[in-house]
């Protein structure tokens, strides 16, 4: 029997703090008119001291799970797409796994910059369709404000923080993820990057002084690249799904620049109102931009059962890709018993995490004692001799 991968739950989380263009006018040489005209951005959300990529990803994940009858313990796989992970390692996905109590799930991060969510969604869908897993949690999460040079007016006005998550589940109902295109071109690696912090340029006083830990971008080249691949990858993904552009009701583009989205619409000869656009309120949230737009599109009634939807993105790497899906609206009724079970298991997950940490410390002390047995009086005399 054929297996299909459907989105059955979705959720988003953004920081409370909102940074306006007017505030940026007092920080760098820019203006609200300049930012709005060139990018379409008016505000963006900025993470506070107690917020991070992992905390935003965890909140989005919990909201996505609440829409389903699933508990975190039933998840088989967690993928976090991010360009601003909590740490180089462990993976941010492992921190989410622990926080939500997904004790049976494998977890890893995926680094494909702004295209990351499409890559991750496709990988999870293929794992479901192959029969190797039943349920997956896919998250796009970023705190790019931590990587921004707040003195560079060309980049600091663009980026914002946030997270979006979806729960994918196996079903015998036709639809869900239909096709995906994933592409890359490393010859353009120097067009959008953070130079330091890895093995090539480890963190040092020199790298910090030179600002090598912040985002660097050749805006003109990235713009040209984006306008080309957004349209071409959309066409390819639609064709692979056996559809025509006229069959697509909704396109969810990566929210990098409104002018890029408008150019893609012209290239595809599609009306702009077929595109979900929220860049004016969130800025560029990289891998989180598509799932955040998806959540808002569903909340606003822009996406309905039977609709064919295309997600399309580009990013550093260079990477780009597009994914076609049929939105079926497979429902898992959430009963009061399921809600109670989920709350209980969430509390149990916190207790489990605490007890496992204590057990690990006790185990370390025990093994440490076994590795260094107390020497006998005879051994001590020999050492003195």
Catalytic residue status for 94: no
Mean pLDDT of 45-72: 97
Q: What is the pLDDT of residues 101-128, one digit of tens each?
A: 999 999 999 999 999 999 999 999 999 9
Comparing 352 with 175, the larger pLDDT belongs to: 175
Q: What is the pLDDT of residues 250-269, one digit of tens each?
A: 999 999 999 999 999 999 99
Mean pLDDT of 161-181: 97
Helix, strand, or coil (residue 130): helix
| Domain spans, the chain | 4-326
353: confidence class by pLDDT, cuts 50, 70, 90: confident
The answer to whether residues 322 and 233 touch, using CB atoms and an 8 Å cutoff, is: yes
Give the pLDDT of residue 378. 56
pTM: 0.91
Give the pLDDT of residue 236. 98
366: confidence class by pLDDT, cuts 50, 70, 90: confident
Residue 370 has pLDDT above 60, yes or no: yes
Give the active site residue among 257, 284, 295, 308. Answer: 284
Interatomic CA distance for residues 195 and 25, integer angstroms: 27
Catalytic residue status for 114: yes
Give the pLDDT of residue 349. 74
Catalytic residue status for 284: yes
Give the pLDDT of residue 45. 98
Instruction: State the burial class of residue 373 (Cβ atoms within 10 Å of its Cβ: 0-12, 13-18, 19+).
Output: exposed
> How many CA within 13 A on the CB side of residue 1?
7
Terminal-residue alpha carbon distance, the chain: 78
- Taking domain 4-326, whether its CATH number is 3.40.47.10 is answered by yes
Give the active site residue among 254, 257, 278, 308. Answer: 254
Instruction: State the burial class of residue 167 (Cβ atoms within 10 Å of its Cβ: 0-12, 13-18, 19+).
Output: buried
Residue 201 has pLDDT above 80, yes or no: yes
Mean pLDDT of the chain: 93
Q: What is the pLDDT of residues 286-320, one digit of tens each?
A: 999 999 999 999 999 999 999 999 999 999 999 99
Q: What is the pLDDT of residues 127-170, one digit of tens each?
A: 999 999 999 999 999 999 999 999 999 999 999 999 999 999 99
Give the active site residue among 94, 114, 156, 295. Answer: 114
């Amino acid at each position: 029997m054929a297996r299909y991968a459907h989105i059955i739950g979705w959720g988003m989380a953004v920081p409370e703090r909102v940074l306006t263009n007017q505030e940026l006018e007092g920080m760098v040489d820019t203006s609200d008119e300049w930012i709005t005209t060139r990018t379409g951005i008016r505000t963006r959300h900025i993470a506070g001291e107690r917020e991070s990529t992992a905390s935003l990803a965890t909140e989005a994940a919990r909201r996505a799970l609440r829409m389903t009858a699933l508990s975190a313990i039933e998840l088989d796989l967690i993928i976090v797409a991010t360009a601003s992970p909590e740490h180089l390692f462990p993976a941010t996905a492992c921190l989410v796994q622990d926080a939500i109590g997904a004790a049976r799930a494998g977890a890893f991060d995926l680094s494909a910059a702004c295209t990351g969510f499409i890559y991750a969604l496709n990988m999870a869908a293929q794992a479901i369709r192959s029969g190797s897993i039943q349920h997956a949690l896919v998250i796009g999460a970023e705190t790019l404000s931590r990587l921004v040079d707040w003195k560079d007016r060309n980049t600091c006005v663009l980026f914002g923080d946030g997270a979006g998550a979806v729960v994918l589940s196996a079903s015998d109902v036709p639809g869900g993820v239909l096709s995906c295109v994933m592409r890359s071109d490393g010859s353009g690696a120097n067009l959008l990057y953070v130079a330091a912090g890895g093995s090539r340029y480890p963190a040092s006083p020199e790298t910090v002084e030179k600002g090598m830990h912040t985002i660097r971008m050749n805006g003109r080249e990235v713009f040209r690249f984006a306008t080309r691949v957004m349209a071409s990858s959309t066409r390819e993904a639609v064709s692979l799904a056996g559809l025509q552009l006229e069959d697509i009701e909704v396109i969810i583009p990566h929210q990098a620049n409104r002018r890029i989205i408008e150019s893609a619409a012209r290239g595809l000869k599609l009306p702009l109102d077929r595109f979900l656009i929220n860049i004016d309120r969130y800025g560029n949230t990289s891998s989180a931009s598509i799932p955040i737009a998806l959540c808002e599109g569903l909340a606003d009634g822009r996406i309905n059962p039977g609709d064919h939807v295309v997600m399309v993105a580009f990013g550093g790497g260079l990477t780009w890709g597009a994914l076609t899906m049929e939105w079926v609206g497979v429902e898992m009724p959430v009963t009061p018993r399921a809600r109670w079970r989920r709350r209980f298991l969430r509390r149990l997950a916190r207790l489990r995490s605490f007890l496992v940490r204590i057990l690990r410390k006790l185990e370390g002390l025990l093994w440490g004692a076994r590795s260094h047995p107390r020497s006998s009086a005879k051994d001590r005399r020999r050492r003195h001799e």
